[in-house]
Amino acid sequence: MKDQEKTIQHAENTADKVKIILVLAMPAVIENFFQTILGFVDTYFVSKIGLAEVSAVGVANAVLAIYFALFMAIGVAANVRIANFLGAKQQEKARHIGQQSVLLAILFGILTGVITLFFAGPILKLMGIEANVLEAGETYLKVVAIPSIFMSLMFVLSAILRGAGDTRSPMKVTILINIINAALDYVFIFGFWFIPELGVVGVALATVFSRLIGSFALFYYIQRSAVLSFRNVYWKPDKQHLAELMTLGAPAAGERLVMRLGQIVYFGFVVVLGTNVFAAHQIAGNVEVFSYMIGYGFATAATILVGQQIGAGNIAEAKIYTKLCAWIAVISMSILGALLFVLGGWAGSFFTDDVTVISNIETALKVSGVFQPFLALLLILTGAYQGANNTKFPMYLTAIGMWAVRTLLVYVLAIQLGFGLFGVWLAIGIDIAFRAVVLTVQFARGKWISIRKEEKDVESECHPQSTKETMSGCVNNY
């Protein structure tokens, strides 16, 4: 870990910087790949039960995405502040902020579990799904989300490790739980020996057991870390650091909540188009996320590197790393976009024999392929903004994009103009392009870094436009 930090701070040329980016990004890309495989395997097995069950799991996952928003927000805040503190050589503060983020993860995990226990059915009914889909969806949601604490811990513990520049350990854990999940999917869904066929419940149980094991494994890696280990930290709430995490995490949570709430609304529009169309939408989404694995991997690298450079006061270096991450991601995701455009129908045929559903999947993936370069920019720049402690602007932009662009256009294009699933995915693509362009413009104008309240007294010395030499005197203020 220390050698890696030294390398990051002393990279003097582009080749060295690219190497550092790849060292951080590739384990995250591999992790995202296996996360994608997890969703792919789940969808594949569920599709063998029936298309109604595919829709049920899809609708339940739309609700779970709201929970993910809360957990990811805590993770984002922990990731950024740990990177900032380590960049400023304040290891004990990094360790303590990690411990406080775990306490928040436990709190929100319990809270969402209680909400699921009492309100799973009513929440799903708000989406207007058919009765046969509702029953399976409620069952799946309760089994997966009542023990939300393991979901929450996995998000936050992984983020803690990444904040310290360790992207390999989360990758190893993700590979492990994917192997476990795939094996348990088969056993629990179709039955084996004394275990009966459990159907959708089996998918949910496989997910829960996998997350339980993943949480313990991640905690094990943290305890092994000389930088992060909680052995000498008292598990007592710290109001200052909890407030700091909430302040930084709240906009990130707001961004994701706005996104997910809007998603629920336009999911309702897709449901109106019919169960088979919604199933095609879900399957296309599970195929499309393969393209996200590269974007999220390099976004992770951008957050870590920008966070550490901001902590060390090297604004110019942070900007260079952002640009390099963006270029690599745009090129890579453009290639994946071309594959989606060409092979979308072939990928859809793995999930169903229904010709109409396959055609809809192919249409959706062709549209997605066209917008992949914009998606790359959106993911990388969002990660960079977060690393620069600016979580508010992406939240505001997401709110505008989701409600004034995406949801409105889904209704107009898919429902009013009768474009169907093509209209849905076109609206999604336009929203992505809109937000990517706005983030790029703000980045180019230098309006992407947020100076926290306690730094205002040194703002003139630590202004984003300051030189590297001027900023070197501001290290201890981050």
Report yes or no: 364 and 281 within 8 Å, Cβ to Cβ.
yes
CA-to-CA distance for 41 and 34, rounded, in angstroms?
Answer: 10
> What residues have CB less than 8 Å from 323, skipping those under 6 apart?
none
User: What pLDDT does residue 11 have?
Assistant: 54
Q: Which amino acid is at 374?
A: F
CA-to-CA distance for 125 and 120, rounded, in angstroms?
Answer: 9
CA-to-CA distance for 63 and 318, rounded, in angstroms?
Answer: 35
Mean pLDDT of 169-189: 86
Q: What is the pLDDT of residues 124-162, one digit of tens each?
A: 877 666 677 777 778 888 888 898 899 899 989 998 898
Q: Which residue has the higher pLDDT, 261 or 86?
A: 86
CA-to-CA distance for 240 and 446, rounded, in angstroms?
Answer: 30
Cα radius of gyration (the chain): 22
**45-68 burial, b for 16+ CB within 10 Å, e for fewer?**
bbbebebbbbbbbbbbbbbbbbbb
Average pLDDT, rounded, for the chain: 79
User: What pLDDT does residue 5 have?
Assistant: 42
Residue 438 confidence (pLDDT) above 90: yes
Q: Work out the angle at residue 70's Cα, subtended by the Cα atoms of residues 67 and 76, and round it to the nearest 5 degrees.
A: 135
Query: DSSP assignment, residue 197?
Result: P
3-state secondary structure of 460: coil
Q: What are 398's two structure tokens? A: 């997401």
Q: Work out the angle at residue 312's Cα, subtended by the Cα atoms of residues 9 and 244, and round it to the nearest 5 degrees.
A: 135
User: Whole-prediction pTM value?
Assistant: 0.72
Q: Measuring CA to CA, which residue among 102, 95, 97 is closest to residue 226?
A: 95
Burial, 4: exposed, middle or buried (Cβ in 10 Å; 0-12, 13-18, 19+)?
middle
Q: Which residue has the higher pLDDT, 467 or 356?
A: 356
